[in-house]
Structure 1
Amino acid sequence: MSSIIRSITEKDNAALARIIRSSLNEFNVPKIGTVYSDPTTDRLYELFKTKGASYFVAEEDDILLGGCGIFPTEGLPQGCAELVKLYLSEAARGKGLGRKLLETCFQAAIKSGYNKLYLESFPQLEKAVDLYLKAGFEHLPQAMGNSGHHACTIWMLKNL
């Protein structure tokens, strides 16, 4: 069976939190000042009920493989949302799911009236950063907005 992309549901919370935290552990990303220690990581369904937010998951044979979303992060310029929480389980990587999730988020952002997407990442997540560059993101010299994830050291922006 092939994978599907769908909107997050409440039953996805625990599996997504596990995928996110195990990915950060795998790549030795800091825990403090990142999504790892962010309490909303355990309640993504509830978080993404926020107006202007969307979160999508990839699933195959009823197994959650990962997800990605957009969020109206405080302090970002008008018309700009943050691309957030793109994480895939180890077994799901390298199959084009990250790109599919990105495209779904780009479409949702445009539909929600955004014309730019901002993101924060880490050099340890090299393959993800490469994916962002291929998708049209460009590096920024400093952070934008108030994500609360002060440990991030890569900041990028894409015009939609």
Structure 2
Amino acid sequence: MTSTSSADIRVRLIQPADNPHIAHVIRQVSAEFGLTADKGFTVADPNLDQLCELYRQPNSAYWVIELDGKIMGGGGVAPLQGSEADVCELQKMYFMPELRGLGVAKALALRAMEHARDLGFKRCYLETTASLTRAVRLYEYLGFQHIDGPMGNTGHVDCEVTMLRSL
């Protein structure tokens, strides 16, 4: 993973004690970008405070990013609910400002997709919003293609950007 001379960046699988810390990151970043619960964004997810337990389900994984020992971001992959068995979803990719521009999101997305490929998934789906321009550009760079509409049953009604990539 990327590191700088003044920062120690560590990526690891989520543990139960991480739940409140990553939930805080997700809430902070969501508020920063106006991604509110009333619009169906991640902060409305009833599992937000139990991500470790959620991602311990079969064919799922979630990684947290520590910066100097403090959780500052994360992202994961899980089967896309309500879709074909060979489709996973890149989920809950959130990063505090201190991590942005360091290549962390790219590295984590690649790690998650490699993990999904190892699990037998053939395609990776994601949803986001057009206001997250840097995220959309990253996903395009990683080979995600825009598709006409949502797949599966994610519940993210205001995520108007839907993308798919072969693994």
Q: Is the 8 A contact 1:140 1:156 kept in 2?
A: yes
SS at match of 2:94: strand
Alpha-carbon displacement from aligned partner over 1:49-91 (angstroms, at most 9, x marks no partner): 1111111111132111211100112112221101000000111
Give the unaligned 5+ runs of structure 2: 1-6
Q: Give the one of 78, 83, 86 matched to 2:85.
A: 78
Question: Could you tell me which residue of structure 2 aligns to residue 21 of structure 1?
Answer: 27
* Secondary structure class of the residue paired with 2:155: coil
Identity %: 34
Rounded Cα–Cα distance in structure 2 between residues aligned with 1:159 and 1:2:
32
Maintained 8 Å contact 1:29/1:124: no
Q: Is the 8 A contact 2:25 2:95 kept in 1?
A: yes
SS at match of 1:99: helix
Aligned mates of 1:128, 1:26 — CA distance in 2:
14
Alpha-carbon distance in structure 2 between the residues aligned to 1:34 and 1:77? 23
Q: Tell me, in whole angstroms, the C-alpha distance in 2 between the residues paired with 1:44 and 1:29.
A: 19
How many residue pairs end up in the alignment? 160
Gaps in structure 1 of 5+ consecutive residues? none
Q: Is the 8 A contact 1:30 1:151 kept in 2?
A: no
